Amino acid sequence: MLAERIRKVVEDYKFDNIGKITMSLGVTEFKKGDTGDTFIKRADNAVYKAKLEGRNRVAVNI
């Protein structure tokens, strides 16, 4: 829910010099046994999923 709120605030904000932008976010959770690499890889995969699904969205990979 927080990631979606952040995405929406960025989408609605008009930035000086560049105007409107959008963003895709990938969300995951830290699991028992995760390393920094496995955690980041899961979040990175979620970002790619969000972009493949049309961009400007949040995707979750748990």
21-31 pLDDT, tens digit each? 999 999 999 99
pLDDT band at 55 (very low <50, low <70, confident <90, very high): very high
Domains delineated in the chain = 2-60 (3.30.70.270)
pLDDT band at 10 (very low <50, low <70, confident <90, very high): very high
Nearest CA-CA partner of 60 in 46, 48, 40: 46
Give the C-alpha separation, 59 to 24, whole Å.
8
> What is the arithmetic mean of pLDDT over 12-18?
97
Instruction: Note the pTM of the prediction, 2 decimals.
Output: 0.87
**pLDDT given at position 54:** 95
